[in-house]
Structure 1
Amino acid sequence: MQVLHNRISNEELKARLFAETERRVTISLYKYFTITDPRAFRDEVYVKFSQLHVFGRIYIAHEGINAQISVPESNFESFRETLYKLSPELNGLRLNIAIDDDGKSFWVLRCKVRSKIVADGITDPDFDPSKVGKYLKADEVNEMIGRDDTVFVDMRNHYEYEVGHFENALEVPSDTFREQLPMAAKMLKDKKDKNIVMYCTGGIRCEKASAYLRYNGFQKVFHVEGGVIEYVRKAKEQNLPLKFIGKNFVFDERLGERITDDVISQCHQCGKPCDNHTNCNNDGCHLLFIQCDECKNKFDGCCSNTCKDEFHLPAEEQRVRRAGRENGTMIFNKSRNNPLLSKVNAVSEETAT
């Protein structure tokens, strides 16, 4: 009987990962195409990728596949061949290779079936996510950026935009992609005569966003092929000037890839230039925020003195304190309106007393 789920503890899996001596390649990929039986497709993917020691997150839905994974370097070609044979739609699929990568991005393979590979809130059956805008390659991005007839639109979340973005890109200030889509259309309604260039981390969100704008009557819609990851890779290969400044936030243990030396954000605790994201060490919080090394040492990786004090309590007392809120909306909440941010903003007051 084939095993279709992981049965080993995270602690052991992490230990195995860091004991590995072979380099791993971190990859992101996606494809919008119709999958008739997502559950059967998921099981096939899990079995075949497990055999190749693939780690990471894979989401499968009727509308396609979305994955962020790592592959042992010696298995890379076998992985690519296996992927391409899963479906004719996946044959020749572009793989986004991580830029700043130590190979320790994932330690287990998680493969899940979801209603959509990107939650978009769209219920209109006439919407077709495959009717996308025009792809832009790296040199075309550089040619269009800064033009008066062109608007670059960042379809990532605020914590991603905060540490890095294309020059003069428009931020859509919402907390989720499903909120961003109608908000972007509203913000751009008086710019239908301009070129609209959308981008995101690896291409999956901006591709759907471009289809959404086209569905809402926009004609001159483009999106950066492969997102920031592919743009940077191609720009470096072709010795093009980088028009993306700062860091590119990524959804794995690294929490960011350095693109340029520019630091465009500040430590949320002391205000010094900093673009290092961290998760508050307090298990009753885990707020994602920006923290410099000095503040990390001062607050033991926590977002406030309150969390620092709770972090140092005996484990049982910590569990009692966070009972009822450990799995609530406060945990790992990255919203710009997250009430936990009030703790970050209050740190200066705490340290002054």
Structure 2
Amino acid sequence: MDSPITVAALYRFTPVADPAALRDALESQCKAQGIKGTLLVAGEGINGTIAGSAEGIAHVVDFIRAQPDCAEAEVKYSHAAEMPFYRMKVRIKREIVTMGVEGIDPRASVGTYVAPQDWNALIADPDTIVIDTRNDYEVAAGTFERAIDPKTATFRDFPDWFRRERERLLGEGRAPKVAMFCTGGIRCEKSTAFLKAEGVEDVYHLQGGILKYLEEVPEEESLWHGECFVFDERVTVGHGLALGTHVLCRACRRPINDEGRASPLYEEGVSCADCYHERTDEQRASARERDRQEKLARARGTSHIGATRP
């Protein structure tokens, strides 16, 4: 399949002295290059995913890497047949990935990075505890063998989950290795730093995240099952970063597989089995009309004013 759109998922933990100035500069650079996506800027760094032409993405990445202490910014590339974003957003946040725990600094203390080629051996070790640090709806689309699902709704829930489960996971005099993973690596930077701050020393995380693993590890050698949820219109990707099979429920933003689409409660653009009973008839009617207007706008080649998808 022809895939003319380059997608770059990137982050860098580094002090940003003037987040507003960096936001404005990034907005200008992205607009000039026709780039779409979302970038988050905070005092602790930059994070986001952007898409556009190969030349435009290269220009913006070069601009980011030219910023102080950003030459080694983590960037993972993939491709899409169509633009996976509707607009460009650059936002200032308190954190570039929100954990909500004061004093966690991945620049000062972080887990041991494990290359994708070495990940299988680590998580296959029965003495290793494997934790998926992503949200419950992401885990539902796919995860690694032996991985524990914390069933968290947001990353903010992870610290409380670990503190509740710590004794069960690490108690009785055990000192197992703890291996954690996430989509692109950024959440693991914070989750491993958090565990080390909690006194857990033998902590590891998958370098480059699931996306790097799926890109580099052949499917026949893989311990990954399912697909990886991504925060754009591709919804999920599989081995080799090929386009996945899930669609997105426009009402609740959860990924829906073939079985979910077969549910009588699934209506494109309106509801799925997971969210049908969370909404009223009036809300579903409103969603139905919004979906109709968006489809009409796409048929005309324009953007519907009510379209707020990322």
TM tier, smaller? 0.7 to 0.9
- How many residue pairs get matched? 275
Q: How does 1:128-277 map to 2 (within 5 A)?
A: 128-130=105-107, 131-189=109-167, 190-191=169-170, 193-236=175-218, 241-259=221-239, 276-277=246-247
Residue 51 of structure 1: how far off its partner (Å): 1.5
Pick the aligned partner of 2:285 from 311, 316, 320.
311
Q: Show CA shifts across 1:242-301 (max 9, x none).
A: 1111100011112111239xxxxxxxxxxxxx9724325xxxx54635353763798532
What do residues 132-177 of structure 1 show as CA deviations (whole Å, max 9, x unaligned)? 1111101110121211111111000111111200111011122111
Aligned in 2, Cα 1:152/1:39: closer, same or farther, shift over 3 Å? same
Distance (Å, rounded) in 2 between the aligned partners of 1:32 and 1:219: 21
Q: Distance in 1 between matches of 2:162 and 2:87?
A: 35
Alignment of 1:70-89 (within 5 A): 70-85=51-66, 87-89=67-69
Aligned to 2:296: none
Deviations 1:291-344 (A, max 9, x none): 53763798532335975994389959xxxxxxxxxxxxxxx9xxxxxxxxxxxx
What are the ranges of 5 or more consecutive residues in structure 1 without an aligned counterpart?
1-20, 261-273, 317-331, 333-353
CA RMSD of aligned residues (A): 3.1
* Equivalent residues of 1:57, 1:110 under 8 A apart: yes
2:86 aligned to 102, 107, 118, which one? Answer: 107
Identity within the alignment, %? 25
- Give 2:14's aligned residue: 33
- How far is the alpha carbon of 1:72 from its aligned partner? 0.5
Change (3 A) 1:287 1:211: closer
Counterpart-to-counterpart distance in 2, 1:113 and 1:255: 25
- 1:42: which partner in 2? 23
Choose 1 or 2 for highest CA Rg.
1
Cα distance in 2 for partners of 1:115, 1:314 equals 35
Paired residue type of 1:276: H
Q: Is the 8 A contact 1:163 1:275 kept in 2?
A: no
73, 92, 96: which one aligns with 1:117: 96
**Code of the aligned partner of 1:295:** A
Report the TM-score, using the length of structure 2 for normalisation: 0.78
The secondary structure found in structure 2 opposite 1:205 is helix
Separation of aligned partners in 1, 2:33 and 2:203 = 39
Residue deviations 1:163-202, cap 9 Å, x none?
A: 2001110111221111112312442444261111110011
Contact 1:84 1:90 in 2 (8 A): yes
Structure 2 partner of 1:60: 41
Contact in 1 for aligned 2:8/2:57 (Cα 8 Å): no
1:52 CA displacement: 1.7
Which structure is higher in RCO with an 8 Å CA cutoff and minimum separation 6?
2
